[in-house]
Amino acid sequence: MSVPGILPINKPEGARSTDCVSSIRRILGRKVKTGHGGTLDSTASGVLVILAGQATRLSNFIMELPKVYETEVTFGSATSTDDASGEIIECLPWEHVTDEAIDSALCAFFGWRMQSPPAVSAVHIDGQRAHVLARSGQAALPEARPVCFLDISRLSGIDEKGKVLLRVACRKGTYIRSFARDLGRYLGTAAHVSRLTRVSSGPFRIERAMCAERAFSMSKEALSDAVIPASSLCDIFPCYEADGNSFERLSHGQRISLAGLRRRLPLLPHPLRGRVIVASEKIFSICSAHRKGGSWELAPEVNIMAEGEGEQ
């Protein structure tokens, strides 16, 4: 594989994220390091960002990007997993829940709030996964932690079975299953996720994600050609050209001055914020910005080097 990169796939419901990564690794070859930019529950479908080669260094960066989900919430019943895969543990009347009541309740979830992860989740409790403790019959009560909801909207009216379709934009660490559970409680009933799809992970949208079954049936050469170069992120984030001096400093983990760098025009009219990219044919560097006097310095957080340029 000649270029490190990103492969967004459309994971089907029922497939494990780790199995999808393993399938891609088997095709590309064991020598090609593979990873992901945030897992999806096996019961969920949608965008799973798979990373190959040096692009695996982008894992934390991709995980931090905003995610958008479409979820069907069913009111009237709570489950042991907060989704349809668990056992029903509580049934409550839901007929008082109206579209207007849902819209009003959603306003209470915007912004930062504390959220308790599901008992059956990958959160660690005393060094063990919560789902391992829960399925062994032990008490598993993950501590609440801060999460952020960027936008929540209702896409359908509540139907005769107590189901409603919602769209949720959120930041890293947010559990949509917990959101459904808490929404039910807020409305004086019980609720769980009956269907969940991740429609985007940062700039990677489901419409352009490759069907997982297709990806798993491709040859090594065809799959390698389908990988998106990490440099594609230059189109959506503030990006500057790396000249000879900035390349040398970045490649050794040193800060560079923003002054004098030539700005690349972004593809989007309003590029995403949070990081700055400095790139050339030799290097792709994700940097954090730090004020110094009246100017700014850029500190490299992730460096991806072109072949033959060494690795940092």
Distance CA 77, CA 9 (A): 32
Question: Considering 19, 41, 82, 103, which one is annotated as catalytic?
Answer: 41
Measured in degrees and rounded to the nearest 5, phi and psi for residue 108 equal -75, -10
Residue 82 is a catalytic residue: no
Helix (H) or strand (E) holding 164: strand 163-170
Distance CA 236, CA 45 (A): 25
CA max distance for the chain: 67
Instruction: State how far the alpha carbon of 32 is from the alpha carbons of 29, 46, 283, in Å.
Output: 6, 24, 19
Contact 258, 291 (CB under 8 A): no
Distance CA 63, CA 55 (A): 13
Supply the DSSP string of 126-158, one letter for each residue: TTEEHHHHHHTT----PPPEEEEEEEEEE-S--
> How many helices, marked H, and strands, marked E, lie in the chain?
8, 21
Distance CA 112, CA 145 (A): 10
| CA pseudo-torsion sign 157, 198, 235, 278 | positive
- Catalytic center residues: 41
